[in-house]
Structures are given as structure tokens and as C-alpha cells.
Amino acid sequence: MSEVVLRVENLKKSFGSVQVLRGVSFEVKRGETKVILGPSGTGKSTLLACINRLVEPDSGRVFLENEEITPKNVHRMRQKIGFVFQDFNLFNHLTALDNVRIGPMKVQKIPKEEATQIALEQLRKVGLLDKANHYPSQLSGGQKQRVAIARALAMRPKVILFDEPTSALDPELIGEVLSVMMDLAKEGMTMVVVTHELGFARNVASEILFMEDGVILERGAPDEFFSNPKTERAKQFLKKLSELYGEKPR
């Protein structure tokens, strides 16, 4: 039995009178990739943000390797959780190399030389060693997102959370980012991925979590979920997505 890396217990969150998370629980074992699917506005981003307390949940608990994340330890715990956003969130005034090594240097206090080695290794891994001295403005969207993934990896996270990492990309750039993510999954990285990429979900997910209206309405192995969704909402959602994007695996 592989061990649980991330455990989310009954997370709830309201914004004003709107309850966005209505009790979400799941766990991710080491090496698993959980893919979260669901219509817009159902709380997927809020869920990821509550995990490392970028958004403070109203109630519920989150454990990373059996240690609860609390307001007190969140700064230390957050260092162990990679976060890859839809819009990259790179520092535009820093080169790719500086974007990747700034975390190890400033947060983990790793000496510059060692941090540089770590950063170059991660840039190599995402296929961007030759762009180390480029600024974000000199990179394509796909390259920027790969730098963002290298930046997350450089912190040696226990788990990486991806919030629609390819949604801001032109179609021809999506594949290069998904391919890096697939390699990570194969190498045993533990990941939680919010995406609309059904091909990725089908091929890479250990389990699909289908969110609807602040709860996980349905969960299951990808084969089972895609070929035989149990709820009417999941059926409708898959139908709509395949009409919008096509269903072919990338």
C-alpha cells in the first residue's frame, strides 16, 4: 500500500451567501494523478486554493504527509506544495533561470551555485535549457508554462497542484505542456490536475473526480468514468466538452 501524500477532509468555503465548497474530501497517494473535471463555477479553483490556504477555508482539514496544514505552519507547508496556474504567474522582470532558482534561494536558503544547478536541471527536464537566459516576454505561452512547471519542481514539492495549466494556451502549444506533465506522472510525481483536456485525463489520471456545485458528485477510474458515467450531470458535461474540444487524446 502506497502512502497518502495529501488528504483533504470535508472542506467547506462560502463567499458571502454563496457556498462554493460544500464538503469536499479526497486523498492522493504517492505517485497518483487525480484529475478534477467539472463545469465552470463549481469550485475547482477554490478547492485547490484552499488546499494551501491561498484561500482560507471555513472548515475542513488538509493533511500533507500526515501533518495538518494550519494557519500557523502554512508558510512552511506551502513550500512542499507546487502550484501551477493557468496564467503562469512568472516574474516578468526575471529570466527563466532566475524565475526557477528564486524559490530555492530565497525561500529554502539554498546557496546560489547549488540553486542554479537545481534550476538548470529542471529547465533541462522541461526542455528549456537553451532558454535559461530568456525573459518571459521572449517565450511562447507553452514555454512560459514549462518554466512555471520547472519553478514548481525546483522546490522539490511533495505534490503539485495544476489549475487549468493549458487553458490560456493556443491549441498548438497545449501538447508540449501536457507532454511534460505526462512525463512527470510517469516518473511518479504526485499531482492534482484541474483540466478540460479529456485525452490527458483518460490517459494519465489514476482517478477522475467530477465536481459539481461544490461537491465531488462522482469519482472513478478514467475508463469507467468516460465510458460509463453514472450521473446525468457527468454525462451532460462530457457531451458538452467533447462537442467543444473534440474527444481525441492529445
Ligand X SMILES: Nc1ncnc2c1ncn2[C@@H]1O[C@H](COP(=O)(O)OP(=O)(O)OP(=O)(O)O)[C@@H](O)[C@H]1O
Q: Which residues bind ligand X (CB under 6 A)?
A: 15, 20, 38, 40-46
Residue 42 near Mg ion by CB under 5 A? no
34 binding partner (options Mg ion, ligand X, none; Cβ < 5 to 8 Å by kind): none
120 binding partner (options ligand X, Mg ion, none; Cβ < 5 to 8 Å by kind): none
Residue selected from 33, 45, 145, 190 as contacting Mg ion according to rule CB under 5 A: 45
Provide, rounded to whole angstroms, the least separation between the CB of residue 245 and Mg ion: 16
Provide, rounded to whole angstroms, the least separation between the CB of residue 171 and ligand X: 18
Span interacting with Mg ion, options 37-45, 52-60, 105-113, 236-244, rule CB under 5 A: 37-45
Size, binding site for Mg ion by CB under 5 A:
2
Provide, rounded to whole angstroms, the least separation between the CB of residue 194 and Mg ion: 6
Provide, rounded to whole angstroms, the least separation between the CB of residue 167 and Mg ion: 8
> Which residues pair with residue 216 across a beta bridge?
211
**90 or 194, CB closer to ligand X?**
194
Span interacting with Mg ion, options 42-50, 101-109, 204-212, 233-241, rule CB under 5 A: 42-50
Q: By Cβ distance, which residue is nearest to Mg ion?
A: 45
20 binding partner (options Mg ion, ligand X, none; Cβ < 5 to 8 Å by kind): ligand X
